[in-house]
Amino acid sequence: MFDFKYRFQWRQVINNLPAMLDGAWITFYTALLSMVIGIVIALTLLSMRRSNNVALRSVAIGWVSVARNTPALLQIYFLYFGLGAFGATISSWAALLAGITFNNAGYLTENFRGGLRAVPETQTRAARSLGMTSFQAYTRVVIPQLLRIVFYPITNQMIWALLMTSLGVVVGLNNDLMGATKALTDLSYRTFEYFAVAAIIYYVLAKLTFGVARLAGWKLFSY
């Protein structure tokens, strides 16, 4: 009743592993870059969100709302094809990076907003009473303590970003882990083997990232 005819061929997957690992590296640094930029934007959106200026606040609220309530896939599509329609062409990789960063910034802003409640208002008061400007108080006293509180959500977001870079394939990216794998399957039709290995690489990459983050968190926030 279950006629299994498929013959696994792993040899050529092994032979092409270096290309896939090169892709994994691109996947990793794209995710990392999107996190670094995402965190900076999120901190900016957070202070905009808390400002008295209605325009600034609206921009921040709008950003968070769109990022969280529309599919990441569509966000990347819009950046690639949408911008293209206005004559502003960007590369597949840039569209992917921008899309994931847009998303990261939106989610992180909400995480940070929650975390900020755990940093007492009196910390800002103490900093201001020493003559620090509000910017100095925010960047030197509030943010470092905030980062400790939101370190786990940041790690989760990093892993999400790592996995979501696989969406680059929909806008033609062909050198990240998913893109490279897809290109290889197109040539060989060994879809199962390639995708299985790609999944394993994603898994290991995610686990490694989590482990390194844990170690870094332990080192950075041991106070």
Binding site for other proteins (CB under 8 A): 120, 122-123, 125-133, 136, 140-141, 144-145, 148, 221, 223
Which C-beta is closer to other proteins: that of 13 or that of 116?
116
What DSSP line would sit under 52-91, residue for residue? S-HHHHHHHHHHHHHHHHS-HHHHHHIIIIIHHHTT----
Tokens matching residue 184: 């290889």
Neighbours of 60 (CB within 10 A): 23
DSSP state of 7: P
Chain-centroid distance, C-alpha 36: 9
C-beta closer to other proteins: residue 132 or 213: 132
- Smallest separation, CB 149 to other proteins (Å): 11
Closest CB 128 distance from other proteins, rounded Å: 7
Contact predicate 46/113, CB 8 Å: yes
Least Å distance, CB 121 to other proteins, is 10
Shortest spacing between CB 135 and other proteins, in angstroms: 10
Structure tokens at 146: 């905030």
